[in-house]
């Protein structure tokens, strides 16, 4: 089972029950940031721009952008991501459209946080930030896809495909736009929308690529993606047993 398939299973199952006090704190903190962002000149411009865009993915985009532009949302230092501004508005907006609440909503927020900070940490968020890559922007589709997958009730396989599609739709940076109505916040909102799109497309049968996320350790795509004739399938080595993929090379006896 690939890393994405394992994460897909985790997202679909919902994982362990999230700590209620921590959940309440993060939700309250993010809603406060969301309200504060709505009152800024940039926030008002976003609200005006999105006034005639009423589809659920568009509402997710606007709400996540408003929370993030406040610059007072939570931050996870190890991953250098600000997951709350993406995960919480997305979860509340999607849940409202599906008339869901309670445990399923709490689980969606928890798996969204988990997915987003895992990816941010895996790509070395703090170090790539100094290279012009915005870890939150890069991880946003992935985190929101996890939220949407849980709320939509996707199967484990569908959730894995949603995460794979989200990675394809991710982008590393937005440049350095300036001005009162900077496109930076449009971009982060669109990244959130892409996460919803990933989950909805997986629900409708579209597929992503599982194999290329972890070619350093992935047994069947060791050292590269097998689908483009790179790397090696360690399980196909004749006469070998107890094989593994270590640092992108097959190892065994």
**Residue-number span of the structural domain to which 226 is assigned:** 211-253
The overall average pLDDT reported for the chain is 90
172 shares its domain with 49: yes
232 shares its domain with 178: no
Q: What is the CATH number of the domain that holds 144?
A: 1.10.4100.10
The per-residue pLDDT for range 55-80, each reduced to its tens digit, is 999 999 999 999 999 999 999 999 99
DSSP letters for 40-96: SHHHHHHHHHTTT--SHHHHHHHHHHHHHHTS-S--BTTTTB--HHHHHHHHHHHHH
Give me the pLDDT at residue 242, please. Answer: 82
Is residue 50 scored above 90 in pLDDT? no
Task: Check residues 195 and 227 and name the one with the higher pLDDT.
Answer: 195
162 shares its domain with 224: no
Is residue 227 very low, low, confident or very high in pLDDT (cuts 50, 70, 90)? low
The dihedrals phi and psi of 196, each to the nearest 5 degrees, come to: -65, -45
Of 203, 221, 237, at which residue does a domain stop? Answer: 203
**Number of structural domains, the chain?**
2
* CA–CA distance, 85 with 67 (Å, rounded to integer): 5
67 shares its domain with 154: yes
24 shares its domain with 96: yes
Percent of the residues in the chain that have a pLDDT greater than 90, as a whole number? 60
190 shares its domain with 227: no
What is each CA distance from 236 to 207, 213, 226, 239, in whole angstroms? 25, 20, 12, 9
The per-residue pLDDT for range 113-132, each reduced to its tens digit, is 999 999 999 899 999 988 88
111 shares its domain with 178: yes
217 shares its domain with 187: no
247 shares its domain with 140: no
* CA–CA distance, 244 with 237 (Å, rounded to integer): 11
Give me the pLDDT at residue 2, please. Answer: 73
126 shares its domain with 55: yes
Is residue 229 scored above 80 in pLDDT? no
* CA–CA distance, 105 with 89 (Å, rounded to integer): 11
Give me the pLDDT at residue 163, please. Answer: 95
Give me the pLDDT at residue 231, please. Answer: 85
196 shares its domain with 217: no
54 shares its domain with 86: yes
The per-residue pLDDT for range 78-105, each reduced to its tens digit, is 999 999 999 999 999 999 999 998 889 9
């Amino acid at each position: 089972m690939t890393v994405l398939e394992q994460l897909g299973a985790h997202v679909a199952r919902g994982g362990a029950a999230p700590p209620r006090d921590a959940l309440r704190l993060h939700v309250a903190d993010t809603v406060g940031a969301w309200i504060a962002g709505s009152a800024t000149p940039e926030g008002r411009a976003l609200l005006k721009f999105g006034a005639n865009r009423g589809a659920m993915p568009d509402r997710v985009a606007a709400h996540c952008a408003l929370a993030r532009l406040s610059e007072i949302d939570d931050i996870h230092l190890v991953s250098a991501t600000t997951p709350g501004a993406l995960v919480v508005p997305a979860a509340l907006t999607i849940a409202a459209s599906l008339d869901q609440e309670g445990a399923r909503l709490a689980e969606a927020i928890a798996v969204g946080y988990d997915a987003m900070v895992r990816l941010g940490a895996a790509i070395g968020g703090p170090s790539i930030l100094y290279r012009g890559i915005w870890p939150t922007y890069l991880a946003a589709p992935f985190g929101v896809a996890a939220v949407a997958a849980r709320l939509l009730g996707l199967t484990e396989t569908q959730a894995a495909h949603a995460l794979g599609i989200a990675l394809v739709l991710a982008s590393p940076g937005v440049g350095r736009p300036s001005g009162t109505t900077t496109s930076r916040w449009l971009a982060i909102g669109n990244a959130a929308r892409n996460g919803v799109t990933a989950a909805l497309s997986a629900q409708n049968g579209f597929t992503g690529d599982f194999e290329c996320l972890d070619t350093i350790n992935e047994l069947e795509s060791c050292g590269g993606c097998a689908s483009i004739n790179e790397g090696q399938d360690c399980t196909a080595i004749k006469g070998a047993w107890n094989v593994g993929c270590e640092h992108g090379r097959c190892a065994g006896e």
